[in-house]
Chains A and B, each alone.
Chain A
Amino acid sequence: MINYTSNFKNINVNYKLKIKQDHCEFMVKIIKIENLNFAYSSNPENFVLKNINLEIDEGEFVILCGPTGCGKTTLIECINGLIPHFHSGVFVGNVIVAGKNTREYPVYEMSKHVGLVFQNPENQLISMNVEKELSFALENFGYNPIEIRKKVDEILKIMDIENIRYSAPYDLSGGQQQRVAIASILTLDPDIIILDEPTSNLDPMGAIKILELINQLNKEQGKTIILIEHRLEIVLKYSTRIIAMNNGQIILNDETKKAISNDILEDLGLRIPKIIKLYKLLKRDGFYIENIPLTIEDLAHEILKLAEYHD
């Protein structure tokens, strides 16, 4: 369960009461999407999301994938409320996040529960230095400066970016920028963090580091993660579930091991990790593999077992 009290000790009483109230309305599933259909107002005949039904548990690590244009970004913007409040259109159905229906709450209310990190960090870092970037959201919400100072120091430590506290965003490397972008939404302490292709501007080592960090946020801090990512081979081992979309619809929604061996992913043209392809070939030719390998070590392990069996 989410521990609300620890981070909100110094705020005024009225706010605390409101939190308790929301706590009571809290449902088991942290995200519940019912019959979601959406078309942008610029093209109301064309539904970019069709009949989306989805439930996500707290603490899950979900990979959202699909070919370009399938509606992934649209879907995540429905979860944090940018749709329907920022982008208008034909919105059918309900999206309930942490007990709140996104139709009834403005985006800033939802951002207390859902933090959204966009693709290119350069377009999210709007301040002249990292410290100000982190305090931005808290300042907007009217927290008192002492609280802000505490929270900023805390996040700087957690994200391991204390050394760039006063650096300007354009002086940072891609990986550092991405860290700062994530840190800036963490200050609001959301339960859910959604990331849209966080590794697209990073080299392979940078990608691994960021994805490890995201995994830490999930396993150590209990954040629910929804990740749009192409480099499946790195995140497969962290994820609990894979959701695949095509043409505005969800065509696959299953726990990782079951989902990854489903041929549908390859049919969509997605980059399936080579270890999975290899595993499928082995299985097709009758080799017995007990566990679906999610990492290279796993596959090596299974192949060794096969070799010993034949010996």
Chain B
Amino acid sequence: MSYTSASLLDLFKFRRKNTPIHKLDPRTKLYYAITISILSLIFSDIIPLGIIFLSIIPLFIIAKSFKFLLKTLQGLFFLVLIILIIDTLFISLSIAISMSLRLFCLISSFSLFFLTTHLDDFSQALIQMHFPYSFAFALSLSVRFIPTLGLETKMIMDAQMSRGLELQKGNLIKRIKKFIPIIIPMIVLSIRRALLIAESLEARGFGIEKKRTYLYQLKLTWKDYLITFILTIILSLSIYFVYFYGLPPILTTKLPI
């Protein structure tokens, strides 16, 4: 796996830490990510987008995950470079910078959500937001088996390599064909596993009770309500200013190029 892709996946993986942001309800954090995303799409000027981006940084620091923010920037480096070059050549430098900032805001806001939210809490949040239980369950089941699948893929690769399969050699088409001996056992084993899991679920009463109960329930605290309130105010004011009143000229300064 290339360095870039490894770091990109990393910043969406939950790390258990004891920070105020980790303790917030996942719904609040999701609302935050969505709000920031909408804001970064509403504004197209450098200064407002810059302000939004700068506002995300302290949150990462509070969540003790600043290094992951840096990794985001690192991971997006090439993409941003391409955007900067193309947009500057064809449109303007201002637009180029705005687009880049927008990208950063979108990705880092969701990254913050995923870094600070455990999958189970996310799953529970979905359930309490009245998503169907089977949907949330399918999600957590898939994620739970990712390490297992990863290990199994490794074992399959070991077995096939020991029969002379060379995955690194050959042109692109040949290399893709070489993955067939890896993919097929994976699929077969996954299907077999799925059947076994289904039997085990059936034997433990999965799906019977319409009123399923939950050992842990998420509860919203005053902090959650406060943050949601503040975010809503910011969002409403932004929409008003951008679409109805008009932004003060200083905020819409553009670069000469």
- Chain A residues with CB under 8 Å of chain B are 77, 80, 82, 85-86, 106-108, 111, 115-116, 118, 120, 122-124, 126-129, 131-132, 135-145, 148-149, 152, 168-170, 184-185, 188
**Considering the complex of A and B, which 8 residue pairs feature the smallest CB-CB distances, nearest first?**
A140-B205, A142-B209, A108-B205, A137-B204, A123-B196, A124-B200, A135-B215, A108-B208
Q: How far is the CA of A144 from the CA of B215 in the complex (A)?
A: 8
Which of B141, B211, B215, B217 is within 8 Å of A142, CB to CB?
B211
A111→B147 contact, CB < 8 A: no
A124→B197 contact, CB < 8 A: yes
Q: Which residues of A contact B151 (CB under 8 A)?
A: 170
A263 to chain B: closest CB distance in Å? Answer: 36
B144→A127 contact, CB < 8 A: yes
Which of A85, A148, A170, A188 is within 8 Å of B147, CB to CB?
A170
Q: How far is the CA of A123 from the CA of B189 in the complex (A)?
A: 11
Judged by a CB distance under 8 angstroms, whether B17 is at the interface is no
Which of B143, B147, B202 is within 8 Å of A107, CB to CB?
B202
Judged by a CB distance under 8 angstroms, whether B23 is at the interface is no
A8 to chain B: closest CB distance in Å? Answer: 16
Known: A111-B203, A128-B144. A139 touches B213 (CB 8 A): yes
Q: Which residues of B contact A106 (CB under 8 A)?
A: 208
**Residue on B with the closest CB to A152?**
B215
User: Taking chain B's interface residues, is the majority helix, strand, or loop, or is none over half, making it mixed?
Assistant: helix
**Residue on A with the closest CB to B140?**
A128
A82→B204 contact, CB < 8 A: no
B60 to chain A: closest CB distance in Å? Answer: 25
Q: How far is the CA of A138 from the CA of B213 in the complex (A)?
A: 8
Q: How far is the CA of A169 from the CA of B143 in the complex (A)?
A: 12
B199→A141 contact, CB < 8 A: no
Known: A123-B200, A135-B215, A148-B215. A141 touches B205 (CB 8 A): yes
- Chain B residues with CB under 8 Å of chain A are 119-120, 140-141, 143-144, 147-148, 151, 193, 196-209, 211-215, 217
A139→B207 contact, CB < 8 A: no
A123→B215 contact, CB < 8 A: no
Q: Which residues of B contact A120 (CB under 8 A)?
A: 196
A80→B203 contact, CB < 8 A: yes
Q: How far is the CA of A169 from the CA of B149 in the complex (A)?
A: 13
A149→B215 contact, CB < 8 A: yes
B250 to chain A: closest CB distance in Å? Answer: 50
A139→B197 contact, CB < 8 A: no
A126→B202 contact, CB < 8 A: no
Q: How far is the CA of A303 from the CA of B120 in the complex (A)?
A: 60
A111→B204 contact, CB < 8 A: yes
B215→A141 contact, CB < 8 A: no
**Residue on B with the closest CB to A187?**
B204
**A to B CB contacts below 8 Å, 28 in the list:** A80-B203, A82-B199, A107-B202, A107-B203, A108-B204, A118-B200, A122-B148, A123-B200, A126-B141, A126-B144, A126-B197, A126-B200, A126-B201, A127-B140, A128-B119, A131-B215, A132-B215, A135-B215, A137-B205, A139-B212, A139-B213, A141-B205, A141-B209, A149-B215, A168-B144, A170-B147, A170-B151, A185-B204
**Residue on B with the closest CB to A77?**
B199
Q: How far is the CA of A126 from the CA of B197 in the complex (A)?
A: 8
B196 to chain A: closest CB distance in Å? Answer: 4
B156 to chain A: closest CB distance in Å? Answer: 16
A132→B213 contact, CB < 8 A: no
Which of B141, B196, B206, B212 is within 8 Å of A118, CB to CB?
B196
B199→A145 contact, CB < 8 A: no
A64 to chain B: closest CB distance in Å? Answer: 18
**Residue on B with the closest CB to A114?**
B203
A192 to chain B: closest CB distance in Å? Answer: 12
B205→A111 contact, CB < 8 A: yes
Known: A80-B203, A86-B202, A116-B203. A140 touches B215 (CB 8 A): no
* A85-B202, A144-B213 known, 18 other contacts, Cβ within 8 Å: A82-B203, A86-B199, A86-B202, A107-B203, A108-B208, A111-B203, A111-B205, A123-B196, A123-B200, A124-B200, A128-B144, A129-B120, A138-B213, A139-B215, A141-B205, A148-B215, A152-B215, A185-B203
Q: Which residues of B contact A144 (CB under 8 A)?
A: 213
Q: Which residues of A contact B214 (CB under 8 A)?
A: 139, 145
Q: How far is the CA of A137 from the CA of B143 in the complex (A)?
A: 20
Q: Which residues of B contact A131 (CB under 8 A)?
A: 215
Which of A82, A107, A169 is within 8 Å of B144, CB to CB?
A169
Q: Which residues of A contact B209 (CB under 8 A)?
A: 140-142
B144→A123 contact, CB < 8 A: no
Interface centre among A140, A168, A169 (most CB of B within 10 A): A140
Q: How far is the CA of A105 from the CA of B248 in the complex (A)?
A: 72
Q: How far is the CA of A117 from the CA of B136 in the complex (A)?
A: 25
Q: Which residues of A contact B203 (CB under 8 A)?
A: 80, 82, 107, 111, 115-116, 185
Q: Which residues of B contact A170 (CB under 8 A)?
A: 147-148, 151
Q: Which residues of A contact B217 (CB under 8 A)?
A: 145
**Residue on B with the closest CB to A119?**
B196
